[in-house]
Amino acid sequence: MSEFFSKLGAYIGAQIGMAIVRLLALLPLSWLRALGWLIGSLLFITFKSRRRVAEINISLCFSELPRQQIRRLARESVIFYCQAMLDRGWLWHGSAAVTKRRLKITGAVEQLQNDEPVVLFVPHFVGLDAGNTAFTQQIPRKLITIYTNQSNKTIDAWILKRRARFGNIRLFGRVAGVKDIIAALRSGEMLGILPDMGFGPEESIVVPFYGIPTYTVPSLHRFARLGKAKLVPVLNRMTDYGYEVQVLPAWENFPSNSAQADTALMNKELEGYIKTMPAQYFWVHKRFKDRPPGEKSVY
């Protein structure tokens, strides 16, 4: 009986949460951003554990910054994160006209016009869902991505459906094998991945990130090599009108024969991308959670 009520509570909670997101889609963008600013500011004060994570991450990566500036950057990052979460209302439930007006794809888009295998390097900036929606609506080429299943099956099904609302996309769970992904990549579908994280010593290698030895998944090298694909970075930037989805020129001479060298290059390039919008990076994530042997936890 307790299991029944637990499942019922989870279902009702999911329905309420989805209804709230649908209602958010009706609000003007300026209202959403103001609400996100308010929620983010309050969370930065009350959610001390994540505030601490953000401040530690920023202090490690920008050790030259004074304490006050580190705290300000951490606060801005939490606000941007909350604003992006609220934007999922119109990204997932707004009209096609609204999403097309608020999402601008810029840069070297011509690289995506043919069927040449392409791996998209999409770093963890707050506008990830904006990039997904923009590509599936505005780029006439199928996108494939890898996602992590949610524990709540109702929420999981809803997220998958909303991310695929414009079609033109296939989503593979992290537990799926790479065989189907590589086949799709070689057939002309674009693969978008978010490899700037670590999944522990078993799945990651240690390379520098801001000069800090950091466990990082070498999937960018792996998929580009197996798929015989070129590597195209995509940066999702929050703007006053919505989001700019910037397609950068493909990296030359990538991949190489070395996963170590390619993953180190990825982190180095990422540092340059972060410099263009430091407050929009996902600093609340415990990027340095796993440490090399002999090193103490930073958190």
pLDDT per residue, tens digit, the chain (299 aa), is 556 546 656 667 778 888 999 999 999 999 999 999 999 999 999 999 999 999 999 999 999 999 999 999 999 999 999 999 999 999 999 999 999 999 999 999 999 988 899 999 999 999 999 999 999 999 999 999 988 888 888 888 998 999 999 988 988 877 667 888 899 898 889 999 999 998 888 889 999 999 999 999 999 999 999 999 999 999 999 999 999 999 999 999 999 999 999 999 999 999 999 999 999 999 999 999 999 988 999 99
pLDDT at 2: 59
**77-107 as b/e: b if 16+ CB within 10 A:** bbbbbbbbbbbbbbbbbbeeeebbebbbbeb
φ/ψ of 57, rounded to 5, equals -55, -45
> Which DSSP string do the residues of 138-184 spell out, in sequence order?
H-SS-EEEEEPPPSSHHHHHHHHHHHTTT--EEEEETTS-SHHHHHH
In whole angstroms, what is the distance from residue 292 CA to residue 37 CA?
Answer: 37
Residue 5 confidence (pLDDT): 46
Measured CA to CA in angstroms, residue 70 lies from 39, 75, 237 at distances of 20, 9, 21
What residue ranges do the domains of the chain occupy?
Answer: 2-280
Residue 167 CB partners (closer than 8 Å, separation 6+): 136
H/E element holding 107? strand 103-107
pLDDT given for residue 118 in this prediction: 95
CA distance 119 to 233: 8
On whether the CB atoms of residues 162 and 93 are closer than 8 A, the answer is yes
* pLDDT score recorded for residue 136: 95
Tokens, residue 205: 């290698």
Residue 193, C-beta contacts closer than 8 angstroms, at least 6 positions apart: 119, 120, 121, 122, 145, 146, 219, 220, 223
